Structure 1
């Protein structure tokens, strides 16, 4: 491999930079010289309105992927849940490191858990998946959208705009904000987004020396679990912002996958599960997606787009 520095492209948010620096430190331990290059994405620039209304997938990834293809950076570090399942020509997912917690976290102004929030309490989350599952569990709460990075969302909570917000446990832990977590809303109670808690490292498909080097960060169990989750999402044609949850994990050497598609109001929750060999992760994901489609998942997803 070239002795030139490896240039990592990343969003400029504190969480994205933490993720990029974590990957950089891992690569440095393997002997590489690494540089961080900050890149603004559409999702960062357009901070008003729901993410789903931006009208396309990859709002947090496209600009960084384009920079990799142009040779301006050598690899991209993404939150895997933000990375569309459709492969970009010329790029490949070189490594998926070991996953952090995939759970969601409730952060409230009073320290209360979800069951203790009073009727009518206002909960902020920009995720349709979280909104639907929260409404299914607590239809008496007011669930509203929220945008911004982790710090911005916490500021909105602390200023009294919301009674509670829901964020990813992994992000709060990475930013050393775990003290703010009032309750972990993890599976099977609440299914995470496909890929939540995991990082995805993308490189140019033809850069074999770099692919081999970065591939040392691959975590096989995490790759199998997230491959199954993303295969399910891909067959559902749901995109990153639809009310779809997936939980893949390795138990006693076997890969298990639970999938969920919900109506936005939480009145309908479709579920399917399957298990099998980790080597068959893609097929397992497709199997769960087919079961969800047979239950009417396509109609729920379409209704969400029309809402």
Structure 2
């Protein structure tokens, strides 16, 4: 292969991520010509409606998959947290990047932590999972929808529309814009469990053995272990990308992996949470087994009600 075309969203963060994958590949294949081609996804076009209300799978990925089918691109770079757990026939998740900082972060012009926020503070997030976890930490907080790219969200914060906003720490760090706000503080995963795959990049291709082999040089095994557990957990619960599920697998050492998970209502009125430490060699079963313990406690019914509330 002499040339490789990467399909990417056009946001600054998506372009950074695709440039990052391009650079990794060029380290191994210095003679390979790599081109980035930008596409707008459904989630990029509809900015005045919460993602949960748009509904459906592949809000951030479908248009990139169409580009692959139309031979306009060879691979697509995604934030793994946005990638549905089930792929359409003919597509594969060919490689995963090493994981960056998986934590959520609080951004504010006045307050450094969630605990410091005043009674009734207005916090911006559209994520149902973050809504659930914020309400468990601070039931008094007023939650307000927040859409747009990272720069747009920070601009709304600085304009005084919110006392604080919650974003994925990794996006702010990649763009090196931590200093644009007075307070940028990642939140411990013990306080806020991230979404599946958060801070990992997933590379999607058509099921092409040549491409999969080419991409194998940048595949990270630790990311595979953690993301397999997390995605299996969500898949077994039959939860999509936009329902209130948090799950984080963390490799402790060569023998052990810790998994923390939570599901619940966006207002924090009901939730199920479990933590466990398991044998890392069993990583292909851990997520499914943990999900079954949630199902036994009524998690599927809880998520169905949570989704219904989100669409109202």
Q: Is the shorter-chain TM-score for this pair beyond 0.5, marking a shared fold?
A: yes
Alignment of structure 1 residues 147-296 onto 2, 5 Å: 147-179=147-179, 180=181, 181-205=183-207, 207-253=208-254, 254-296=256-298
Alignment of structure 1 residues 1-307 onto 2, 5 Å: 2-3=1-2, 5-31=3-29, 32-179=32-179, 180=181, 181-205=183-207, 207-253=208-254, 254-307=256-309
Contact 1:230 1:285 (C-alpha < 8 Å) held by counterparts: yes
Contact 1:41 1:61 (C-alpha < 8 Å) held by counterparts: yes
1:52-111 deviation per Cα after TM superposition (whole angstroms, max 9, x unaligned): 111211100011012112211000000000000011211111111100011000001214
Inter-partner Cα distance in structure 1 for 2:212 and 2:282: 23
Contact 1:258 1:288 (C-alpha < 8 Å) held by counterparts: no
Report the alpha carbon displacement of residue 112 of structure 1 after superposing the two structures with TM: 2.8
SS of the aligned residue for 2:193 comes to coil
Name the Cα RMSD after superposition: 1.2
Inter-partner Cα distance in structure 1 for 2:34 and 2:282: 35
TM-score by length of 1: 0.96
How many aligned residue pairs are there?
304
Inter-partner Cα distance in structure 2 for 1:249 and 1:164: 28
SS of the aligned residue for 1:116 comes to coil
Contact 1:69 1:91 (C-alpha < 8 Å) held by counterparts: no
SS of the aligned residue for 2:275 comes to strand
Inter-partner Cα distance in structure 2 for 1:305 and 1:270: 16
Inter-partner Cα distance in structure 1 for 2:33 and 2:277: 41
Inter-partner Cα distance in structure 2 for 1:128 and 1:63: 24
Report the alpha carbon displacement of residue 293 of structure 1 after superposing the two structures with TM: 1.1
Inter-partner Cα distance in structure 2 for 1:293 and 1:198: 27
Report the alpha carbon displacement of residue 279 of structure 1 after superposing the two structures with TM: 4.0
SS of the aligned residue for 1:115 comes to coil
Contact 1:20 1:36 (C-alpha < 8 Å) held by counterparts: yes
SS of the aligned residue for 1:182 comes to strand
Inter-partner Cα distance in structure 2 for 1:172 and 1:140: 27
Unaligned runs of 5+ in 2: none
Change (3 A) 1:300 1:217: same
Inter-partner Cα distance in structure 2 for 1:167 and 1:276: 29
TM-score by length of 2: 0.95
SS of the aligned residue for 1:72 comes to coil
1:240-284 deviation per Cα after TM superposition (whole angstroms, max 9, x unaligned): 011100011111112222211021111222112344343432310
Contact 2:137 2:191 (C-alpha < 8 Å) held by counterparts: no
Contact 1:274 1:287 (C-alpha < 8 Å) held by counterparts: no
SS of the aligned residue for 1:194 comes to coil
Moved over 4 A (4+): none
